[in-house]
Structures are given as C-alpha cells and as structure tokens.
Structure 1
Amino acid sequence: MTATAYLWAPPPVYCLPVRGRSERLPINRLFFVGRNYHAHAVEMGRPVDKSAEVPFYFTKAPSTLVESGATVAYPPGTKDYQYEMELVLAIGVAGFRVSEAEAPKLIYGYACGLDMTRRDLQLAAREKGRPWDLGKDVEQSSVVSEIVPMPQVVLGQGALSMSVNGEVRQKSDLSKLIWNIPELIADLSKFYHLQPGDLIFTGTPEGVGPVQPGERIEGRIEGVGSIALNVGPAE
C-alpha cells in the first residue's frame, strides 16, 4: 500500500498525560459550556433561567491545547486577557442521543482546565451579534492538567479555587453547576456524535478577571487535582 504524500508535515496528535498510565489521551474536540454558574452569568450581565433556557456551547481548535505548567505568551490584539477556571470532562466512549441515565457510561475521567479569553474582543463580538472566535479560539488558550481516570463517575460536588500570584480570585463548588454532568453529556449528544478524546469544559464560576505578563495562575479542584499557567511577555 502506497503511503500518502503530503505537501508539508500534517499537524501532530494533540494529547494529554493520564494519571497512573504511560499512554497519553489523544484529543479529538474541545467543547466549552457558556454561563453554567449563576453568579458568573450575573457578572457577565446575562443571568440564566434554567426553566426557560438550554445550555449553549462554543468550540476551540485542538491546536489551542496547552499542558498545565506551561508558559504562554500574552496574546496579540487584546488589552484584557482573562482566566476562567473549569472542571474538564473527558469522554471515553462514543455516544449519540444518549439519555441522562446513560450519560455516565461515556465518562472516562476529569481534569482541571483554564479557558483563557481575550475578553475585550469577545464582548465586542457579543454586542454586535458576531461569533466569539477572536475572543475565545486563541492560540495556547485551552490549558488542561493531567486526566484523572474516573470511568462512569459523576462528579456532583467538590471545591474549586483559583489564584493569581497567590491571591484567590475564584472560589466555588461543582454543586453550583446550573447543568450537571449527565445533563451536559445528554444535551451535547443531541447535536454531536461524541467520541473518545472529546473534552467538555463545563463552565466557570464567578471571579473571572485579567492577568498580566509575569503573573502565575494556580488552580485546584477537590478530588481532581491542580493546574498552573505562567503568562509570559507579549510577542
């Protein structure tokens, strides 16, 4: 069989370390849940009424993935680069149109995540009814810790906290998620054939804010682990 020839080298397989395993978890897609904590929805000026609304999502390219502990450049085109600390869910079994009762079968494990955002560009796009891509799909903006295998385990509670240079900025609990883990999996699977390696960033609590070059972000989720990111100089 003749090997396929490419004009240039294809992109690498993006992957993450897995606690207790030598194999790494290959990444398929990155999904992000918007406004999934009431207090954060309020601070963003868009309160959520769960009885009348459904979850909404945006995506980022897998090439935005960065491992915990990295140093990333302050990105171009923004004066308001912000952090969002989140629980990340790793899908390990394919599923389409699954029920909430079936949803846990798709869970491989969890990680800590940071959804780094060019907030000024996101809000400018939001006010004009335009896509958020320039604000959200930012190079080196999807930071994830090691994956902790927890097959079929639904995390319903656990303290979440994040600090900048040692000062706590975000503090909440997973029990405050508006849409919980089974609800998110079931809802997202109505629109996508979920696949092993899909990551779902489940939303951030209140306290989001800007960082500057030279600052260090550190976060922790009870029962999952920790995450860190160093913000380097602008390119």
Structure 2
Amino acid sequence: MKRPILWVLVAGILLGFAAAAYAYYNHRENRGRTAQVIAWIRSPQDHPDWRTPAGETCPGAPFQMPTEGFIGFLWDDSFRPGHRHSGIDIFGGGDPGDTPVYAAYAGYLTRLPEWKSSLILRIPSDPLQPGRQIWLYYTHLADPAGLSLIDPAFPPGTRETYVQAGALLGRQGNYSGTPNAPTGVHLHFSIVRDDGQGQFLNELDIHNTLDPSPYFGRPLNGPQNDGDIPHCTPTQGGGA
C-alpha cells in the first residue's frame, strides 16, 4: 500500500511544479505587457510605433481594427491564477469619450436593455469558417459613473440592427461595471462562439471565445507572443 501512496505524492509534487512553472511563465509575460500599458497611458506620444490606427486591415485578414491605440493585453493572458483573458484590450491613450470605436466587420448589432457599456455583433457566417455563426463583443464604452458612450443610434434594447464594417459604434471609456471604480480607458474586444441555438455564449469563459490572431493577422495570442508589439504579421494562419 505504501508504494501507490508514494507515487500519488510524487505525481502531486510534479503537478504542483508544472502549475507553478505555467503561472510563472504567464505572469512574467503579463508583467512585461503591464509595464508597456502603463508607459503608454502615461505618455503615448513617446511610443508612436506602438499605435495601431483604427480601420487598419492586415493583408489577408478579414477584420479591420475596431479602434485606435496600443493593443496592450492579449487573448489568453493571465492576470491571476486560474484567470484567462478572453479578448484583447486596446488603449487609446486619451480620456473617456475621446477615441472612436468602429465595427470590425459587417453584422447585426444587439444591445441588451441592461447594458451600459457593451454591444455585440452577430456575424452569420464566420469569414474563416463559412457557415459557422460568431459574435463580436465590445465593452467599456461608458465613463467611470456608467454614463454610456455608445452611439445614440444604438439605445438600450437595440436588437439585430445591421451595421457595415467601419460603422461608428461609440467611444472608448473606462467603466468597470462598478460605478466610480474605473479601469484604464480602453476597448475590450472578443470573438464569441455561438451556442448552436443562435445565441452567444458567456464571454467571460475563454473556452467560449476564439483566438483573434487569424482574424486580424496579428500575434494576439498571449502565451504565443513573447512581447512583440502586435502589428501585422507577414502571413496569416487558417481558421480558429
């Protein structure tokens, strides 16, 4: 009986080391990106090569950049043990309401009645996997108190309003979901899977989202990006 117990203990120790190594690696990369985000927020004019213009489309990629700024945090970054970031964060470098936000792709826009700072676009046919429906989620489009910065054309309760790629949706804000406890001014953008019944899944779970890298033609996968500024890559991958 002692030998099986010993093996269980050894396996547990090895798993612990593996988990610690994984956490160290991810948080090490995040510390570097966090330092870059802080430097950008303090003085974006000092880092012009970090800026990505709104509307820029990388060669061969279907989505255009939904807003201007520095793509600071990436998909699958980890900010604490057990957490996996489900999208990308784009920091405009200005105050709430300064930086416009646009549709990355043509689709059908919904804003639920309770959403102060969020929108979602239904894309009936995924451009990288035709026939699969996906959703584009936008959030933090409100000021610290929760005053919406979404374009007035999309009031609460809007459902299935068609928008062209490049249509103005609102402006970057810093509403965290808790009034007067702001985040940095940015857009959080994610690509959300469909539930198979025509509805979007919970965006907070990374398993319900897709790696945005091939959709934008940029290195936007956190664990696979060693600190490169996510500009256009020479070639694009396949579907997600």
Common topology (TM > 0.5): no
Q: TM-score range by the shorter chain?
A: under 0.3
Max Rg structure: 2
Higher relative contact order (CA 8 A, sep 6+): 1
Name the structure where strand makes up a greater proportion of residues.
Answer: 1
Name the structure where helix makes up a greater proportion of residues.
Answer: 2
TM-score by length of 2: 0.26
TM-score by length of 1: 0.26
